[in-house]
Structure 1
Amino acid sequence: MEIQAQRVGVDGAQGTLLRPTSLVVRSGEVALVSGEPGQGHTALALALSGRMRPSSGTVLLNGKEDPRRLRRKVAVVDAPGVSAPEDALDLAFVVREEMGLGGHRASRRTVATWLAERDLSEHAHSRFDAVPPDVRIRLLVELAAMRRGVRALVLDCPDRHGTDPRAWWALARQQAEQGLAVVVLCSPPAAALLRVPTARLGQHEQPAPITVRSPESPPDDRPTGRPDGAHPSPTMTLPMEKS
């Protein structure tokens, strides 16, 4: 699967939300995109997922404009004010809601088992904003990847939680290893710590995304997770870049 943003710009009522930006990412690849606060991270995430119509430019899925299919194939992870869970909700409720959204059974027992398998039972009834940031990011990424039909993830500024960028970068790479196309949006300081090729918001000439598995990928319509949250084993384990 290939997602291509061609000079995508977004205007809002108060002015420009996103200056024209170009980007290409395919199954098995992860693209890092940086920009200063207010340069349009969430606007790009919504445009790439077919949830916001660009004011200029186009977003193509496998060479065609198809916003409806993009919405089915692309999950936006932890976008502030859009897909980020409410801070006051407890973790178990967030997991149950995300499982239901992903088309899986979401009984209390299923959620309890899912959390126990990840040694997170102690956080089950904690407010979501009290859960350690690295844990909440990991769970949101995994739950988004479990959604039926999802073949791409867009992580919206995981660095805003103050975690080590290498932790969420490793999560992104792991999902690409399993065949998903992954885009991570972040700030320039976080990108600089990772020392990897980085695209920029508001630019047309962008570096190629990082390929972390062979181009072979499962059919677009194959479910990416099972109701119990299990995933196939990664095809390889790759080390994180040293800072």
Structure 2
Amino acid sequence: MIDASANTHKQASQDDDTVLQIRDVAKSFGSVQALKRMNLSVRRGRVHTLLGENGAGKSTLMKILAGVYKPTSGTILLDGKTYQPQNPRAARAHGISIVFQELSLCRNLSVAENIFASHEPSRFGFVRDRELIANAEALIEDLGLPVDVRVKVADLSIAQRQLVEIAKGLSLPADVIILDEPTSSLSDNEAEILFSIIDRLKERGKAVIYISHRMEEIMRLSDDITVIRDGEYVTTTQKFETSIESLIALMVGREMKDIYPPRVAPRPPADTPAVLATKHLTMRGKFNDVSIDVKPGEVIGFFGLIGSGRSDIMKALFGMYRPEGEILLDGKPVALASPSEAIRQGIAFVTENRKEEGLVLPHSVERNVNMVALKQLAGPFGMMRSSDERAGAKAEVLRLAIKTASIDTSAGSLSGGNQQKIVLAKWLQIRPRVLILDEPTRGVDVGAKFEIYRIIRELAAEGAAILMVSSELPEVLGLSDRVVVMHNKNLAAVLDADGLTPETVMSHAAGMHA
């Protein structure tokens, strides 16, 4: 292990390839200290991973480097010179580029317009569209991204938008590239494209600061790994000196023997009537002939490559689409004409896009948690009872271990993992019979994942029927009773999870059994 707080200054003198140094950097927001004493030394041609739970201070540190925040104290050196960017534009001018986890794209603009936003090729104040398209196509081709630069971002999937965000971050020359959870919404195939881009950046002598909660990819990509906890530096190590188990223990401050909690209650018997079922559910261009069922207390995992139709099925079950075929609740056909009707039927939906579809970011934690349960919290004549609202919100914050200064804090100021837990909390308020989870741990750290997994187990034990979409195959295998595998918008297989191997699931997802 390398103790950066003791060795940072010494390492700078020894390593001619050190491009960025952070010395005793701290950052406070009023009485809240987000960073206490941070040290980091980043070298050219290497991937330096920053590892820590949600709320540990990773994003705060990256925003300081990107010129979004100014440190309260400490020193940053770039190529040996003091680095004090006044804004993001100044950071870019110094050769530091950041790709944030939360997308910053304009939905109504094309891919090309988003990639070169703020530095479009122009003459006399007019954008040269032909040159813009040509430059965007050249960049997309160089990066190997499967995206049409003329398409509007609103028409892209979340995964495709993430690839565009990466291209945008690489559209100007940079010596230090910061990637914040870049694979959180990518399939394995798309992640491989990103990994090849990172390899090329290393070959060109670029320094990459990488933030991720996916331990397997951290061990694959990293050269150096720095762990931080509760805003403080813990240690720096090289990849070959450590293990996943050791890193998790350093990150969360405790041993985690089994990331997937055991079942709280036995699986429902095979002859248990289904709570929800579909018969030949079809929506042209989105999914075809899907017949599935889920019993009370059962977790059904959905797996497939991006574009396989998984999320579209979930949206149909929540009344966002009107497909052909039948949806049955307790064996009786129902018409789910809208999300409101689905909610009335006891169906809840935790969306993969928490920023745009799951939360009202400027509103408080309390308002977001109680958003769906207002009717249950209302007193006589529909009057809201403030004491009940606050008590309900506090109970869910405690239950899901949401890290917030108070329930009056705005949801937008919390870390991604805590925001995800708020989305889950608002649905738990209504005690749903059917809970749909679309990428429930996207962008969530290991500790927060364990807490979400524990809640899933508890809900299943209480009799909830759970449908879970996930791009993380270990997560699907670790939590599911049965696995629905999608391929090319068709149902490829429904498999019992007991003894199921990743190879079997992937072979169905790739269409090898078609």
| Runs of 4 or more above 6 Å deviation | none
Equivalent residues of 2:35, 2:60 under 8 A apart: yes
Instruction: State the Cα deviation string for residues 47-91 of structure 1 (Å, max 9, x = none).
Output: 22344222233211133322147552211223537xx32445432
Match of 1:109 in 2: 130
Match of 1:173 in 2: 199
Equivalent residues of 1:96, 1:108 under 8 A apart: no
* Alpha-carbon distance in structure 2 between the residues aligned to 1:62 and 1:56: 20
Equivalent residues of 1:32, 1:198 under 8 A apart: yes
Match of 2:102 in 1: 80
Size of the aligned set, in residue pairs, is: 201
Unaligned 5+ segments in structure 2 are 1-17, 241-514
Correspondences of 1:177-216 after superposition (within 5 Å) = 177-187=203-213, 190-195=214-219, 196=222, 197-201=224-228, 202-208=232-238
Unaligned 5+ segments in structure 1 are 211-243
Taking a change above 3 Å as real, the CA distance of residues 180 and 138 of structure 1, as seen in their structure-2 partners, is farther
Query: How high is the TM-score relative to the length of structure 1?
Result: 0.66
RMSD: 3.4
Equivalent residues of 1:88, 1:128 under 8 A apart: yes
Q: Check if 1:97 corresponds to 2:127.
A: no
Q: Check if 1:22 corresponds to 2:42.
A: no
* Alpha-carbon distance in structure 1 between the residues aligned to 2:211 and 2:61: 9
- Worse-matched range after superposition: 72-81 or 20-29: 72-81
Equivalent position SS for 1:93: helix
Query: How high is the TM-score relative to the length of structure 2?
Result: 0.34
Q: Check if 1:161 corresponds to 2:185.
A: yes
Taking a change above 3 Å as real, the CA distance of residues 86 and 79 of structure 1, as seen in their structure-2 partners, is farther
Equivalent residues of 1:31, 1:198 under 8 A apart: yes
Could you tell me which of 156, 165, 174 is aligned with 1:130? Answer: 156
* Alpha-carbon distance in structure 1 between the residues aligned to 2:29 and 2:96: 23
Name the amino acid aligned to 1:49: A
Name the amino acid aligned to 2:211: L
* Alpha-carbon distance in structure 1 between the residues aligned to 2:192 and 2:98: 20
Higher relative contact order (Cα pairs below 8 Å, separated by 6+ residues): 1
Name the amino acid aligned to 1:80: E
Taking only the aligned residue pairs, the percentage that are identical comes to 19
Which structure has the greater CA radius of gyration? 2
Equivalent residues of 1:10, 1:19 under 8 A apart: yes
Equivalent position SS for 1:94: helix
Could you tell me which of 34, 44, 55 is aligned with 1:38? Answer: 55
